[in-house]
Amino acid sequence: MPLPLAPPSSTDPPPNQHFNTGISPNDHASYMRLALSYAHESPPLPTNFRVGALLVDSASNKILTSGFTLELPGNTHAEQCCLSKYASEHDIPEERVGEVLPEGAVIYTTVEPCVKRLSGNRTCVERIVETRSKGGGIRKVYVGVKEPETFVGDNQGRKILENAGVEVVLVGGLEKEILRVATAGHVASS
Ligand code: HJL
Ligand code: ZN
């Protein structure tokens, strides 16, 4: 299957599940670029960032799900959408998604997972850590940029993830584009 550099248009089927993109297993920049293409699908708003994410099985080099900010109904984050969609596919609640994730499960996200939300909703760091409650779960998170301080100040989630055994890897090179897309709906400060 050719590499889908852009997410499918709205007339296409929903983003493929369990597809092999042709991206080499260690080509993290290409996975991040693909995650960024999903961020473009998110509506530009002043109240959050437009983030794209992928849940990937690093062992089989397959994409399990994709997600972007506000993809699912409600105030949903990109990483949350990935986990929630994968859980739905397995007919279990998102809280139990860790039980059905393959051993090599990793997340690519254009902006680092949130550790505080202005809405008070459960954070993506909590959701990721929860996948590890029975062993296994998400082992690695590849991050395109640190979260800008716009909404909640300095994001200290990395330590929480690492303490839970989740490696956090910064994938450089796309920062400018990721931030441009993430903040497209924000009012420009002069
Ligand atoms: C990440 C997302 C997303 C954010 N971060 N990693 N993925 N929207 O999909 C983080 C930002 C929160 C604000 C507002 N954004 O989203 O800190 O309304 O969006 O709960 O704190 O909180 P709500
Ligand atoms: Zn989040």
Instruction: Count CB neighbours of 72 within 10 A.
Output: 16
| Residues known to be catalytic | 79
In sequence order, the β-bridge partners of residue 104 are none
Which backbone phi and psi does 179 adopt, to 5 degrees? -70, -35
Domain coverage including residue 144: 28-182
The model's pLDDT over 145-185, given as tens digits with 9 standing for 90+, comes to 999 999 999 999 999 999 999 999 999 999 999 999 999 99
Domain count, the chain: 1
Please tell me the pTM assigned to this model: 0.91
Q: Is residue 112, in this structure, part of any structural domain at all?
A: yes
Q: Is residue 49, in this structure, part of any structural domain at all?
A: yes
Quick one: pLDDT band at residue 22, thresholds 50, 70, 90?
confident
- Which domain CATH number covers 175? 3.40.140.10
Q: Is residue 101, in this structure, part of any structural domain at all?
A: yes
The model's pLDDT over 99-156, given as tens digits with 9 standing for 90+, comes to 999 999 999 999 999 999 999 999 999 999 999 998 899 999 999 999 999 999 999 9
Q: Which atom of ligand 1 is nearest to the CA of 155?
A: 17
The per-residue pLDDT for 35 is 98
Distance between CA atoms of 165 and 83, rounded to whole angstroms? Answer: 18
- E strands, the chain, are 52-57, 62-68, 105-111, 140-145, 167-170
Handedness of CA 39, 149, 72, 63 (dihedral sign): positive
Is residue 124 lining ligand 1, measured as CB closer than 6 Å? yes
Is residue 155 lining ligand 1, measured as CB closer than 6 Å? no
